[in-house]
Amino acid sequence: MASKNVYIVDGSRSPQLKARGRQGPFSASDMAVQTARPLLLRNSAAAENIDEVILGCMMPGPDEANIARVVALRLGISQRVPAWTVQRNCASGMQSIDSAFHNIKSGLSDIVLAGGVEVMSHAPLLLNSHMVNWMGGMATARSPMMKIKQLSKLRPHFLKPVIALIRGLTDHVVGLNMGQTAEEIAYRFNISRAQMDEYAVASHQRLAQAYDNGALDEVEVLYDSNGNFYAEDDGLRRDSSVENLARLRPAFDRNYGNVTAGNSAQITDGASWLILASEKAVKKYNLSVLAKISDTQWAGLDPKVMGMGPVHAMTPIMQRNKLSIDDIDYWEINEAFATQVLGCVAAWNEDTYCKEHLKLKKAMGTIPHDRLNIDGGGISLGHPVGASGARIILHLAKLLERKKAKRGLASLCIGGGQGGAMLIEREEKLEQQ
């Protein structure tokens, strides 16, 4: 039976741990398992009736083929419950929610555990193709003579590793890395270094404030096997300032660029989960809910300016639901780069862009800064690519509840030139249940 409404029951996320040049304490499945544990424990009725598990992840470890299934089994979820892994690059975590949403909507599932995980610190170093071919030659060389001959062909540059993380963060179709696509946006909308750095500082301040006010109760403590625990996002810099950020050198366009490590999303490890349920399941198991998912949208655009993805995905949602900017109480636009978020705001503010690229008659208007990413974002807490989509939806739902607000829109840009957006709404009536 098709379900009219799809609800977010509850969710949890891990603290996001910065990659510090060595492998982090958790594998992707470790992180996903530990993060889901308390969520399932406190939602036992839903947990016992999960119909499927969907997990977004771009770089699972070599022992984590179809990582969703690995995690589901490790969580002790019944073997009969199927699990699958989804990828849409930076929106993999949102893709999993979207897939869950559609399966519930169509009546295929009633309760879905969906989320995203990425352990970027474990991204592998690969052998380059020279080395792979040389080793293949070694393996097939039969006689000692052939072996010596093959051995003599080894060259120093064969040993140069391929850094999977850098390759993954590069668009090989247009030949730009993600930071360079952000520079494109800064160029197009004339966004200055100062604007970017100011935005970045605000992100840190907002996250610090959110922790201080207890506004991040979706974060679950993680424990490693050496007696350490992780309770907060460790990339947060409470002492961040425009002066400090101004000292950083451009990270992508050498010498003349403006995008730095300080005004870009951090590379972190993280996991986020949501439990989604149909209206029927909410009633049957008497589940409390945070919000309902009202609409979702994917969009494609020029990969060179992939950071503009959010406005391309959000616009059809606004049109379809006949919404104006004032109708949205809170916005979560994933902070891949400060300039990219600022670019999105600028684009909707600009008649030309709206007419030319979004087929609008005029500018959409201004997203107020005090309604956008108010508890920080990728710049202060990092962007584990597979997880962020689920994280912003979860946080937006939590935010609506905290502010007793009605409507929120979450969106992110996707490397390769796409955008994803999701509209969620809180129903007063259901809250009283």
Partner 1 sequence: MSIQDNKYKHWKLELDEANILWLHMDVAESKVNLLSSAVIDELNAILDDIKKQLPQGVIILSDKKDSFIFGADIKEFTELENQQQAVTFLERGHALMNKLESISCPTVSMIHGMCLGGGTELSLACRYRVMSDENCSRIGLPEIKLGIFPGYGGTVRSIRRAGPLAAMNMMLTGSALPTRVAKKIGLIDEAVPLRQLKHAARHFVMDAPKLKQPGLVQRVANYRILRPLVAAQMRKQVARKAKQQHYPAPYRLIELWKNYASNPEQMLQQEIKEVSKLAINETARNLVRVFFLQEALKKQGKQVEYKARHVHVIGGGIMGGDIASWCAIQGYTVSVQDQSPERLAQTTKRAQTSFKKKYKKDRRAITAASDRLIMDHKGIGVAQADLVIEAIFENAEVKRELYQNIEPRMKEGAILATNTSSIKLEDLSSCLKNPGRLVGLHFFNPVALMPLVEIIHGNNTDPNVLQQASSFARNIGKLPLPVKSSPGFLVNRILMPYLLEAVIMVDEGIAPESIDKAATDFGMPMGPIELADTVGLDICKNVASILSKTMNMELPKNLEQIVKIGHLGKKTGSGFYQYKNGKVQKNKKVQHKNIQEIQDRMIMKLLNESVACLREGIVENADMIDAGVIFGTGFAPFRSGSIHHIHDQGIEKLVNKMIQLEKRFGERFKPDEYWQKLKV
Query: Least distance to partner 1 from the beta carbon of 53, Å?
Result: 15
Q: Which residues bind partner 1 (CB under 8 A)?
A: 33, 37-38, 41-42, 44, 74-76, 221, 223-229, 231
Task: Give the separation between CA 299 and CA 297, rounded to whole angstroms.
Answer: 7
**Cβ pair 141, 149 in contact under 8 A:** yes
**Cβ pair 384, 119 in contact under 8 A:** yes
Buried b (16+ CB within 10 A) or exposed e, 170-187: bbeebebbbbbbbbbbbe
Identify which of residues 222 and 374 has a Cβ nearer to partner 1 in the complex: 222
Query: Nearest Cα to 386, choosing from 4, 13, 6?
Result: 13
The verdict on whether 354 is a catalytic residue reads no
3-state secondary structure (DSSP) of residue 343: helix
Identify which of residues 10 and 253 has a Cβ nearer to partner 1 in the complex: 10
Query: Least distance to partner 1 from the beta carbon of 224, Å?
Result: 8
**Cβ pair 114, 407 in contact under 8 A:** no
Task: Give the separation between CA 267 and CA 347, rounded to whole angstroms.
Answer: 26
Given the residues 57, 90, 344, 354, the one annotated as active site: 90
Given the residues 122, 204, 312, 383, the one annotated as active site: 383
The verdict on whether 383 is a catalytic residue reads yes
Vertex 282 angle, CA 276 and 288, to 5°:
85
Query: Least distance to partner 1 from the beta carbon of 22, Å?
Result: 20
Query: Least distance to partner 1 from the beta carbon of 13, Å?
Result: 15
Identify which of residues 72 and 314 has a Cβ nearer to partner 1 in the complex: 72
For residue 28, the 8-state DSSP code is H
- Residue 137 is inside which H or E element, if any? helix 129-140
Identify which of residues 23 and 44 has a Cβ nearer to partner 1 in the complex: 44
For residue 15, the 8-state DSSP code is P
Query: Least distance to partner 1 from the beta carbon of 270, Å?
Result: 18
Given the residues 57, 344, 354, 413, the one annotated as active site: 413
Identify which of residues 75 and 91 has a Cβ nearer to partner 1 in the complex: 75
Q: Where would I find the beta strands (DSSP E) of 14-171?
A: 17-18, 52-56, 83-86, 111-119, 125-126, 162-163, 170-171
Query: Least distance to partner 1 from the beta carbon of 93, Å?
Result: 22
Identify which of residues 224 and 356 has a Cβ nearer to partner 1 in the complex: 224
Task: Give the separation between CA 250 and CA 252, rounded to whole angstroms.
Answer: 6
Identify which of residues 81 and 311 has a Cβ nearer to partner 1 in the complex: 81
Task: Give the separation between CA 79 and CA 72, rounded to whole angstroms.
Answer: 8
The verdict on whether 413 is a catalytic residue reads yes
Strand partners, 292: 7, 425
Alpha-carbon Rg for the chain, nearest whole angstrom, is 22
Query: Least distance to partner 1 from the beta carbon of 42, Å?
Result: 5
Centre a 10 Å sphere on the Cβ of residue 320 and count the other Cβ atoms it contains.
12
**Cβ pair 129, 167 in contact under 8 A:** no
Task: Give the separation between CA 17 and CA 230, rounded to whole angstroms.
Answer: 8
Identify which of residues 26 and 298 has a Cβ nearer to partner 1 in the complex: 26
For residue 373, the 8-state DSSP code is S
Vertex 50 angle, CA 35 and 412, to 5°:
55
Query: Least distance to partner 1 from the beta carbon of 144, Å?
Result: 33
Catalytic residues, which ones? Answer: 90, 383, 413
